[in-house]
């Protein structure tokens, strides 16, 4: 490979420091392919010239390293939310399995699963209470304002939940309210509101969040606690002399040969539960997108 | 003078950033066989005498983002000389989207033309 192309690739990499590793790799391989192809075809056209004569013009047409780097970062910024920068590409099975601890997506999903015990029941209560109050008050004249306020609150909550989902699960969600038609009288406005499919979908999502939240929390919490308990069992038993079980006056200890195995199982379980969190997080992101993003 | 140049360059870049996807997609729709990046870039610079000042390097990230959106698909093939090449071709979804985009483009074009003409 020509020295100038190598130099270009190094400069391009330097310009892209701080961006996702996959992007740098993409940019470098694109540039390498293009510059080599261009050089080859120019050399066929002008066989008496050297690569060093031809390359400056080729590079000028391709764009300076700064320009090329800017083109990549611009497009990345446009199409990917913050957490979708997964920092693991390649690597063996071993490093991929344990690399999950360095993956912001897994941590984001774990946090989401833990807080869903709070948000889930909250959404559910709000949706069910709002719906039933609206229906009950529909008999009276003030039933309508209650329903309208409830509908608007659902719009707000679904936007907020979207922000949480995008922040923690890395799925691109709406950043603004859906445009509400202007210049209607109040009767038409209410009609638009009640016919709005996205509001009904959001209510459905809020109801669904109760069981989901309970499942997410229970899964993530219990798996993490069990794995941590397994991992610290040797310390408890050997250093603090705390038995595994105490049953009618008798203390039961694990045999020593089993202790390393217990630790390893704990570590594997913890790592596995991080993978599960990431998987469920991805799945929930899709679910949230389906229910909360208007078509 | 230089200030005008800077502004021009920036404006051209802003226009390009939207149009490039459309242009690339339509080039791929017209292509009879899978093309690799250099062929596409060459075709664009050959075709149009008055092509906008678009650096060839800026085409590649757009190609990749189109692929990510499954409008294009690609495969890597080793070449006899030099590094392997990535061949791009349009997907059926890409063709569908292209007709939509052409409609949008026509609409935008006539809107801009009307606004400029109405001055």
Q: Which positions in chain A have a beta carbon within 8 angstroms of at least one beta carbon in chain B?
A: 26-27, 29-34, 36-38, 40-41, 61-63, 67-68, 71-72, 74-76, 78-79
Q: Is the pLDDT of residue A242 over 70?
A: yes
> Could you give the CA distance from residue A199 to residue A46 in angstroms, rounded to a whole number?
66
A110, A101 Cβ separation under 8 angstroms: no
Residue to mutate among A62, A64, A73, A81, with most B CBs inside 10 A, is A62
Tell me the shortest Cα–Cα distance from B37 to chain A, in angstroms.
Answer: 7
CB spacing of A29 vs B65 below 8 angstroms: no
Question: Which CATH number characterizes residue B18's domain?
Answer: 1.10.10.10
Domains identified in chain B, total number: 1
B82, A40 Cβ separation under 8 angstroms: yes
Q: Is the pLDDT of residue A243 over 70?
A: yes
Is residue A18 very low, low, confident or very high in pLDDT (cuts 50, 70, 90)? confident
Residue numbers in B near A68 (CB within 8 A): 55, 57-58
Is residue A79 very low, low, confident or very high in pLDDT (cuts 50, 70, 90)? low
CB spacing of B55 vs A68 below 8 angstroms: yes
CB spacing of A72 vs B81 below 8 angstroms: no
Mean pLDDT in residue range A142-164: 88
Would you state the pLDDT for residue A247?
80
Rg of the Cα atoms in chain B: 16
Q: Is the pLDDT of residue B51 over 60?
A: no
Interface size A-B, in CB pairs within 8 Å, comes to 75
* Inter-helix orientation angle A143-169/A259-292, to 10°: 130
Tell me the shortest Cα–Cα distance from B48 to chain A, in angstroms.
Answer: 15
DSSP symbol at A181: P
Rounded to an integer, what is the distance from CA B16 to the centroid of its chain? Answer: 8
- Cβ neighbours around A137 below 10 Å, total: 15
Domain residue limits, chain A: 3-79, 104-292
Q: Of all residues in chain A, what percent carry a pLDDT higher than 70?
A: 90
Q: Nearest by CB to B86, which of A33, A62, A72?
A: A33
CB spacing of A75 vs B38 below 8 angstroms: no
Give residue-wise pLDDT tens across range B86-118: 899 999 999 999 999 999 999 999 999 999 986
Residue B81, phi then psi, degrees to nearest 5:
-125, 135
> Could you give the CA distance from residue A266 to residue B1 in angstroms, rounded to a whole number?
68
Which stretches of A170-239 are DSSP H helices? 186-195, 197-238
Is residue A183 very low, low, confident or very high in pLDDT (cuts 50, 70, 90)? low
Q: Nearest by CB to A33, which of B37, B65, B68?
A: B37
Would you state the pLDDT for residue A295?
56
Bridge partners, residue A251, by sequence: A246
DSSP string, A66-94: HHHHHHHHHHHHHH--GGG-----S--HH
B75, B34 Cβ separation under 8 angstroms: yes
Measured between alpha carbons, how far apart are the two ends of chain B, in Å? 25
Please name the residue that has the structure tokens 């939310």. Answer: A81
Is residue A22 very low, low, confident or very high in pLDDT (cuts 50, 70, 90)? low
Residue B87, phi then psi, degrees to nearest 5:
-95, 130
Residue numbers in A near B64 (CB within 8 A): 26, 30, 75
Q: Nearest by CB to A40, which of B68, B81, B84?
A: B81
CB spacing of B60 vs A63 below 8 angstroms: no
> Could you give the CA distance from residue A225 to residue A210 in angstroms, rounded to a whole number?
22
Mean pLDDT in residue range A253-275: 89
Q: Is B85 helix (H, G, I), strand (E, B) or coil?
A: strand
CB spacing of B61 vs A41 below 8 angstroms: no
ipTM of the complex: 0.80
Mean pLDDT in residue range A6-26: 83
Ranges A242-246, B19-23, B74-78, most confident = B19-23
Q: Nearest by CB to A62, which of B57, B62, B84?
A: B57
A53, A95 Cβ separation under 8 angstroms: no
Range of the domain at B22: 2-117
Name the token pair of B112: 């801009």
Tell me the shortest Cα–Cα distance from B45 to chain A, in angstroms.
Answer: 10
């Amino acid at each position: 490979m020509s020295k100038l192309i190598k130099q270009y690739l190094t400069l391009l990499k330097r310009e892209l420091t701080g961006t996702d590793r996959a992007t740098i790799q993409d940019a470098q391989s694109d540039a390498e392919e293009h510059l080599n192809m261009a050089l080859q075809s120019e050399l066929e056209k002008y066989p008496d010239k050297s690569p060093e004569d031809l390359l400056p013009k080729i590079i000028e047409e391709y764009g300076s390293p700064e320009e090329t780097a800017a083109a990549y970062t611009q497009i990345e910024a446009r199409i990917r939310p913050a957490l979708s920068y997964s920092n693991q590409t390649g690597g063996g099975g071993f490093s991929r399995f344990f690399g999950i601890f360095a993956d912001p997506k897994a941590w984001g999903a774990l946090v989401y699963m833990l807080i869903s015990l709070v948000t889930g029941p909250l959404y559910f209560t709000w949706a069910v209470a709002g719906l039933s109050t609206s229906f009950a008050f529909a008999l009276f004249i003030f039933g309508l304002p209650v329903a309208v306020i409830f509908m608007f609150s659902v719009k707000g909550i679904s936007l907020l939940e979207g922000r949480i989902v995008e922040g923690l699960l890395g799925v691109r969600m709406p950043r603004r309210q859906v445009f509400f038609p202007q210049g209607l009288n109040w009767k038409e406005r209410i009609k638009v509101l009640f016919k709005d499919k996205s509001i009904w979908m959001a209510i459905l999502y809020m109801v669904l969040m109760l069981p989901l939240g309970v499942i997410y929390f229970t899964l993530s919490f219990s798996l993490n606690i069990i794995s941590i308990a397994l991992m610290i069992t040797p310390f408890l038993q050997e250093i603090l002399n705390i038995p595994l079980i105490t049953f009618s006056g008798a203390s039961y200890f694990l045999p020593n040969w089993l202790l390393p195995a217990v630790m390893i199982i704990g570590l594997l379980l913890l790592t596995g539960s991080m993978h599960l969190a990431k998987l469920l997080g991805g799945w929930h992101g899709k679910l949230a997108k389906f229910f909360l993003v208007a078509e | 003078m230089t200030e005008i140049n800077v502004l021009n360059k920036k404006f051209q870049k802003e226009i390009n950033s939207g149009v490039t996807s459309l242009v690339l997609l339509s080039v791929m729709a017209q292509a009879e066989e899978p093309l690799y990046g250099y062929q596409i870039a060459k075709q664009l610079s050959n075709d149009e005498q008055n092509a906008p000042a678009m650096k060839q390097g800026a085409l590649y990230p757009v190609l990749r983002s189109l692929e990510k959106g499954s409008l294009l698909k690609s495969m890597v093939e080793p070449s006899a000389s030099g590094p392997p090449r990535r061949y791009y071709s349009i997907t059926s979804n890409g063709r569908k989207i292209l007709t939509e985009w052409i409609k949008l483009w026509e609409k935008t074009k006539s809107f801009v033309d009307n606004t400029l003409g109405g001055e």
